[in-house]
Amino acid sequence: MVGKLPPEILKKLVFSRVGVVDPAVIVGPSIGEDAAIIDIGDGKVLVAHVDPITGAVEFLGWLAVHIACNDVAVRGVRPRWLLPVLYLPENADLGLIDKITAQVDSAAKEVGAMVVGGHSEFTPGLTRPLISMTAIGITEKGRYVSTSGACVGDAVLMTKTVGVEGTAILSTDFRDALLRAGVPEVVIERGKEFLKMVSVLKEALILSDAGLPTSMHDPTEGGLIGGLVEIAYASSKTLEVWEGRVPIAEETSIMTKALGLDPLRLISSGVLIATVPQGRAEEAVKLLSQYGIKASVIGRVREYSGHYVVLHRGDGRVERIDELYVKDELISMWERYGSK
């Protein structure tokens, strides 16, 4: 088994074992919720999240910072402190360590956060480096956004194009596979640049500061569909979405078609999913546009119908998604090609 633990295992063996229940915890372990929210008094809450990066190698440190910070940002909170845990293969050299920590430093400066601790070690049995990153921020108690806030009638909005992070990872870690599949080298080189778009901090804070989102979410493993399912589950709603409204970059389209992947199930950090009141959807799109951020309305929130997501495919098929776990296409790539 590769990827996240299935929801039934999480519920039975993880979420039920949290030690002493602390009444200060407003949002704790839960499927779909991006970060813990803890009341620290004086009208403030602490927002904390930890995320591993296991499916990428080339830009491990850079992704670790931005992916963890995204999950704090979608709470409407600016991340301030970082704690990385770096696991290195036994034969890792100083050049690899230098590369990863330089990326962490650069990305941390970009988001305005400081590394305040963490851990690093040479770990037996690893074939490639792994990193787990914790991001922490603070905000006022009444200002945070949760994943569970989507309301019936809300518009479903997404920023940028589907599969942003996945496109960058395919272009770096699976370059040879893409070349063998006939993808032109110039397309792969352009795909590498998608790494620069993996942060949603800017758009999340813009929307939050304007009081627009009822919920926000960072679609990582499972891609856009996985993110939509998690909002639906957390909010006890059904999200109805049209594939034809989902923007996809030319590079992503070429790569996924060549490899036989579904771009809507490709890891999509860099994309922000937000639900906003229907009457303010146009306002949200225009506001983001003023900051150079493309946003698209791709669906709407319905009463729960027994399905988490109702997806209208471009070919006329209607796909109804009832399961919480959505397998990411990047996992399929690692299964197919391994560490090669």
Number of CB atoms found within 10 A of residue 69's CB: 33
Looking at residue 248, what is its pLDDT?
A: 98
120 closest CA partner among 152, 96, 150, 143:
96
Using the predicted structure, report yes or no on whether residue 339 has a pLDDT greater than 60.
no
Tokens of 166: 């996945």
Q: What predicted TM-score, i.e. pTM, was given to this entire model?
A: 0.90
CA-CA distances (angstroms) from residue 202 to 102, 115, 197? 22, 20, 11
Of 191, 181, 238, 204, which is closest to residue 135 (Cα–Cα)? 204
Q: What is the amino acid identity at position 179?
A: L
Cα–Cα distance measured from residue 306 to residue 151, given in angstroms and rounded to the nearest whole number: 16
Helix extents (H) in the chain: 7-9, 60-73, 94-111, 164-173, 175-180, 185-192, 201-209, 223-235, 250-259, 281-290, 329-337
Q: What pLDDT is stored for residue 55 in this prediction? A: 63
Q: Which pLDDT band holds residue 292 (cuts at 50, 70, 90)?
A: very high
| pLDDT tens digits for range 20-64 | 999 999 999 988 887 999 999 999 999 999 999 886 778 899 989
Domains within the chain, CATH numbers bracketed? 7-140 (3.30.1330.10), 147-337 (3.90.650.10)
Coil, strand or helix: which one is 48?
Answer: strand
Q: What are 128-141's pLDDT values in tens digits?
A: 899 999 999 999 99
Q: Provide the pLDDT for residue 1.
A: 57
pLDDT band at 7; cut points 50, 70, 90: confident
Residue 8, pLDDT above cutoff 90: no
Please calculate the CA angle 279-280-283 and round it to the nearest 5 degrees. Answer: 135
pLDDT digits over 92-120, tens only? 999 999 999 999 999 999 999 999 999 99
283 vs 221 pLDDT, higher one = 283
330 contacts 267 by C-beta, under 8 angstroms: yes
Contacts of 104 (CB under 8 A, 6+ apart): 61, 62, 64, 65, 82, 84, 115
pLDDT tens profile 297-321: 999 999 999 999 999 999 999 999 9
DSSP letters along 69-109, please?
A: HHHHHTTT----EEEEEEEE-TT--HHHHHHHHHHHHHHHH
Average confidence (pLDDT) over 136-158: 96
Model pLDDT, residue 263? 98
Q: Measure the CA–CA gap between 177 and 55, rounded to whole angstroms.
A: 15
- pLDDT, average across residues 232-239: 97
Q: Is 306 left (phi over 0), alpha (psi -120 to 50) or beta?
A: left
Q: What is the DSSP string of 284-323?
A: HHHHHHHTT--EEEEEEEEE--S-SEEEE-TTS-EEEE--
Residue pair 320/41 in contact by the 8 Å Cβ criterion: no
Please report the pLDDT score of residue 34 as a whole number: 78
Which pair of tokens denotes residue 165? 């992070």
